[in-house]
Structure 1
Amino acid sequence: MKDLKQFNIQYVGLKEESHLFEYQIGKTFFDAYNFDEFFDANINVALTLEKKNTLLNLSFNAQGTINVLCDVSGEPFDQEIETELQLIVKFGEEFNDDNEEILILPYSEFQLNVAQYIYEMIVLSVPTKRVHPKVLDGSMESEALKKLEKLRVKEVKTTENVDPRWDKLKSLITEKKT
């Protein structure tokens, strides 16, 4: 992960106050993780680091877009992303990241790489089902949607060849409700 050195924060020399770090996340960031679900990315991440005597309080805020495929039409589109992450960094004898909200760094450390936290925050903020906005409003024109429309099961109401036993069973259900 040598490509991610710009995400190292050397907190040892910082004053005990709030510090703002800003990052522009693009496709190359995700390439460093061999993550290929996004075709492109344009995300602004603002990290506020509040240094205190015994801990660091990190507040991540990400806004932007990622280019992904629509799960319905297969067409690429820009998915809006807006997410936040809070992380508390404490200091101890050894590294421990078992808790997702608290990170323990050894006393001997002098910097923290925040790239992994930014990566996880963005990837987890993407909806599990990605639907193009034009599919939602019905204005999408694509071959895949035309095929889906042709294959849609149409409800057929017929009165012929209906087994009378089904009608008797249906009446039992309505009688039970009353």
Structure 2
Amino acid sequence: MLLLNVHGLSNGKHFVEISGKADGEFVSEVINSEVFVEGSLRVHNDKLILKGKARTIANLICDLSVEKFQEEIEAEIEIIVMKGMKEEYRSELDENTIFIGEEEKIANITEIVLQELLVKIPMKKVAPKYRGKEIEDIYPKLKDDKKEGLSPFDILKNLKNN
């Protein structure tokens, strides 16, 4: 869990380093290694704003080769912690806001950090050894099939020519 200590902080800017592993309901197949958060925590009375970066190692599967590989993911985070605000005054406009009671000493930022990291996973997941290569370079048999006219699109090309 990623827990932010919010007790006994004076007003002003503080440097924060947090690390932890996701557990419980936040466990994921993609992110199951340690997550590191570092940044600045600006404290103004009962409002705390954490701005920084989160990073971890993601377990991904290559779209081209179906091989498993790991890649570091990094995400910018901004989390607001509001202390002691009554429920009737809360607005749910910002998803990155955590409300805690006046007497609570720790804010759990795990869910927000993991969501930000998961959004940063690339849509096309390509293992580092295949980046910048054409599919024919990875699978030479495909190149031979194209030369021999075994492509399923050859029939469509013939229809266009007729």
TM-score band, normalised by shorter chain: 0.5 to 0.7
Is 1:93 aligned with 2:58? no
Confirm or deny: 8 A CA contact 1:97 1:104 kept in the other structure. Answer: no
Superposition pairs of residues 11-50 of structure 1, within 5 angstroms: 11-25=6-20, 29-32=21-24, 33-38=26-31, 41=33, 43-50=35-42
Question: What is the aligned partner in structure 2 of residue 102 from structure 1?
Answer: 97
**Separation (CA, whole Å) in 1 of partners of 2:64 and 2:52:** 32
Correspondence 1:115 to 2:107 = no
Q: 2:127 aligns with which of 132, 135, 154?
A: 132
- The answer as to whether partners of 2:55 and 2:73 remain within 8 angstroms in 1 is yes
Greater relative contact order, per chain length (Cα 8 Å cut-off, separation 6+): 2
Shift of 1:109: 3.8
The list of structure 1 runs, each at least 4 consecutive aligned residues, that deviate by more than 4 angstroms after superposition, is 95-98
Partner of 2:141: 150
Mark the structure with the bigger radius of gyration: 1
SS in 2 for 1:137: coil
- In the TM superposition, residue 122 of structure 1 has moved relative to its aligned partner by 1.7
Q: Secondary structure at the match of 1:122?
A: helix
Query: What is the deviation of 1:82?
Result: 1.8
Question: How far apart in 2 are the matches of 1:104 and 1:22?
Answer: 21
Residue 13 to residue 31, structure 1, CA distance change in 2 (3 Å): closer
Structure 1 residue aligned with 2:75: 83
Q: Any idea what SS the aligned residue of 1:9 has?
A: strand
Q: CA deviation at 1:108?
A: 4.9
SS of the aligned residue for 1:41 comes to coil
Contact 2:96 2:112 in 1 (8 A): no
Report the TM-score, using the length of structure 1 for normalisation: 0.63
Given that 1:81 and 1:125 are in contact with CA atoms closer than 8 Å, whether structure 2 keeps it comes out as yes
Give the 3 Å change call, closer, same or farther, for CA 132–124 of structure 1 in structure 2.
Answer: same
Q: Which blocks of at least 5 consecutive residues in structure 2 are unaligned?
A: none
5 Å matches for 1:33-72?
A: 33-38=26-31, 41=33, 43-72=35-64
Distance 1:61 1:133, change over 3 A: same
Q: Which runs of 5+ in 1 are unaligned?
A: 168-178
Aligned residues: 147
Specify whether residues 115 and 96 from structure 1 end up closer, same or farther in structure 2 by C-alpha distance, changes over 3 A only. farther
- With over 3 angstroms needed to count, the CA separation of the structure-2 counterparts of 1:61 and 1:31, relative to structure 1, is same
Deviations 1:53-104 (A, max 9, x none): 2411111312353232212111122223121111223342026655224344
Q: CA deviation at 1:51?
A: 0.8
1:119/1:63 CA distance change after superposition, 3 Å:
closer
Percent identity over the alignment? Answer: 24
Distance 1:24 1:58 in 2: 14
